Amino acid sequence: MRGNVSDSPARTRELLAGIVVLALLVRAGVGWLDRGHGEMEHLADLYRAEAYALAAGYGMLHPAPSGPAEVDLLRLADSLAAQGKRITPETAPRITPARWRPASMHPPGYAVFLLGIYRLFGEPLFAWARVVQAVLDAASCLLVYLIGVRFAGRAVGLVAAAGQALAAPAAYLATSRVADALCPALYILTFWLSVKAVDTRRTAWFVAAGAACGVACLFRPDYLPFAAGLALAALLVQRRLLPVVGRMLAFGAAMVLVMLPWGLWNRSKVGSFTLSSTVGGATLYESIGQFPNPYGIVFDDLAMLRTAREAGYEGIDDPGADRWFKRRYLAIVRENPGLIAGQMLRRVPLAIAPLYRWGYVNPAYRGRTFFDYVAREHVGPLEAARRHPAEVLGAYWDRMISGVIALGLFAACVALAVAERRRWATVVLLLLPYWAIVLSHLPFTMGSRLLAPALFCQIVAAAYWVVRLRGRGPVELWAPR
């Protein structure tokens, strides 16, 4: 590469160190800016209580909602912290198992992560957790560098790593207090290992990538379809069916092996072998409410909880409620397949230009969101914008900025596919993290926080154009052997 930047390894290390520091500063700034208003913050206390239940030796349990909590774990943790103590099996009171139920709403990854943070650092739990999350997310910029180097050279790798460091939506997610916080770093790790696997064609790398994907799925099960996407991309790149099938079987075996204890636990505790969670049915059913529909379904978790209780279940994570929601969803699919197909098309713009949150707490947002208009007026996002342009602009101007940037990243991906059409299989592999998430969510729901972990591959595509258009030397896309 020609230009002002030396190609020496020492200079590269200096630049990468600066990029990691930059990433930490951005994540610290976003963490300060959002003031604890990160993604899905209403779930934070639930994760915290699950971690305390594990620390107490209770297991993955939470109090049954039918009566007063036998033990207030949050209050107990605060009380013990004031005495310089922590929750342990010795300091926690005994419980009546009948008054507790399995915590099967989410996979156990984040609760176990918080348990580790609690045992290492104690309180304040989430303050320490956010620091560790920010450090891990900043470190993942180094993997983005390696990915960029593999696909298009050192200059692209450096620009991509800097772009990931500055990616405020990823920083916002990483400093939240929910399982999504670790997903960008885990997704980047999974993809880097997958690229190494495709590059070297060694089964050991496929096993490592599968294990990483399994860990990611224990935080959010959204990444289960990644295996199918990788199989397709590897086949397109390597063009040898039997070797790819064998290596992907190793990938799948490693992924399932990591998740197997969770599936077996679900089978023993809730009577259903599932590698995801027991709210899948409610998620499917609620997704119909993302847009106007003739069934009166609204995109609101509290509405789903009321629906479940009206049907005689304790909550949406009740295994019976899970099956009931799935039956209702499938009945609607059979009765009105055109509705589902139409909603899939409506989600495409949300995937092309997602309105990412980046930490700013917009005071005009409350009561003027698309979801508010869907609930009150039973209209879709576009109709809400047409009816209430000033209100929508005031509520979403901060996210629209990131939406414009996201649209630019999408355009960079399309331009890359056109410019490198002779190496289209390589482009398919590079953009795998993005298109795998989009295709897996089109039938159900689409949201910016679901897409944020895949930002890095779009940033690599944009970095390709930054280096190429600057004319600092040729940019040659990787052609796997």
DSSP string, 181-214: GGHHHHHHHHHHHHHHHHHH--HHHHHHHHHHHH
- The SS3 assignment for 59 reads coil
Instruction: Say if CB 184 and CB 170 are below 8 A apart.
Output: yes
Per-residue pLDDT, 226: 93
DSSP 238-287: H--HHHHHHHHHHHHHHHHHHHHHHHHHHHHHHS---SS-TTHHHHHHHH
Q: Which two tokens stand for residue 333?
A: 């699919």
The tens-digit pLDDT sequence of the chain (481 residues) is 344 455 788 899 999 999 999 999 999 999 888 766 666 777 899 999 999 999 999 999 988 877 677 899 999 999 999 999 999 999 999 999 888 989 988 999 999 999 999 999 999 999 999 999 999 999 999 999 999 999 999 999 999 999 999 999 999 999 999 999 999 999 999 999 999 999 999 999 999 999 999 999 999 998 999 999 999 999 999 888 999 999 999 999 999 999 999 999 999 998 888 888 888 899 999 999 888 899 989 888 888 999 999 999 988 888 889 999 999 999 999 999 999 999 999 999 999 999 999 988 888 888 888 778 877 777 777 778 888 888 888 988 999 999 999 999 999 999 999 999 999 999 999 999 999 999 999 988 888 999 999 999 999 999 999 999 987 667 889 988 7
Nearest to 425 by CA among 168, 151, 166, 177: 151
Q: What pLDDT score was predicted for residue 122?
A: 95
Quick check: 262 and 107 in contact, CB under 8 A? yes
Token pair belonging to 386: 């047409």
Give Cα 16 to chain centroid, integer Å: 25
Quote the CA–CA distance of 256 and 259 in Å, as a whole number: 5
* 446, 36 contact by CB (below 8 A): no
Q: Please give the pLDDT value at position 471.
A: 75
> Global pTM?
0.93
Tokens encoding 433: 């993290």
Q: Which residues pair with 18 in a beta bridge?
A: none
Measured between alpha carbons, how far is 208 from 206 in angstroms, rounded to an integer?
A: 5
The 3-state DSSP class for residue 339 equals: helix
